Amino acid sequence: MIRDIEANYARSDKHQTAIIELAAASGLALLDDNERNPLYTTTYGTGQLINDALNHKVKKIILGIGGNATNDGGVGMLQPLGISFKDQYQHEIQPGGINLANIERIDVSHINPKLQDIEIKVACDVTNPFLDQNGATAVYGPQKGATQKMIPKLDYALNHYHDKIELELNKTIKHIPGAGAVGGTGAALLAFLDAQLQLGIEVVLEETHFTNRVKDANLVITGEG
């Protein structure tokens, strides 16, 4: 499902850091209930936000993942970054989780070169693996609109995609905790972008230098809402 929307992210030029929320461009809240269909929703817009950040010469990207509408294994996010997923006719595959089953070849030769010098931290509180009963599709697919008939088709497509990653990148990521996050986007971040998946609170504490800030404190009051 491709359509133009307006999406924002935060950027600190002083710290050469961008903070991007995946749900800003690929979120469930952007769709009406009758539009929720992970066969065709895509993370493409998130890749466009990452590209924009790269064009502003950031050196670090903090990506918050959650609340998404997709089950495309992060392929949509990777396509604007220059990674190509070809079908048997050497055409770029269409958006959506179901089309991962059509991947015949992965070409990373045109990946955005600016990614080479980028640190990517991913705030991820999900530890689900990529596939099977505790994986991306089975656990989170229904809230994105997946019916019981869709789930085996989407899981088959993700499995095929992972087989291609193993074959062409020589990486096995399906059992890594968090690989199943955001409809398998966690796997794409690990396999293609060498990202670090961390608990959201760990990212916040690190980036705010929390330990230093409270080292002389006698009392710390926290809250969550």
pLDDT tens track for 4-54: 999 999 999 999 999 999 999 999 999 999 999 999 999 999 999 999 999
Residue 218 counted as domain residue = no
pLDDT tens track for 172-209: 998 999 999 999 999 999 999 999 999 999 999 999 99
β-bridge mates for residue 21, sequence order: 64
The CATH code of the domain that includes 129 is 3.90.1510.10
- Number of domain units in the chain: 1
Residues 6+ apart with CB under 8 A from 208: none
In angstroms, the CA 154 to CA 139 distance is: 12
Q: Are 81 and 46 in contact (CB under 8 A)?
A: no
- Tokens at 129, concatenated: 């693996």
Tell me what the mean pLDDT of segment 111-131 comes to.
Answer: 95
Q: 91: domain range?
A: 9-213
Q: Which one-letter DSSP state was computed for residue 90?
A: S
- pLDDT grade, residue 1 (50/70/90)? low
Position 222 scores a pLDDT of 85
Burial class (CB in 10 A: 0-12, 13-18, 19+), 208: exposed
What separation, in Å, do the N-terminal and C-terminal C-alpha atoms of the chain show?
Answer: 32
Residue 223 counted as domain residue = no
Residue 221 counted as domain residue = no
Residue 225 counted as domain residue = no
Model's pTM, two decimal places? Answer: 0.93
- Nearest to residue 181, comparing CAs of 5, 10, 26, 18? 26
pLDDT tens track for 73-88: 999 999 999 999 999 9
Q: Are 29 and 23 in contact (CB under 8 A)?
A: yes
Residue 55 counted as domain residue = yes
Q: Are 185 and 77 in contact (CB under 8 A)?
A: yes
Residue 1 counted as domain residue = no
Residue 83 counted as domain residue = yes
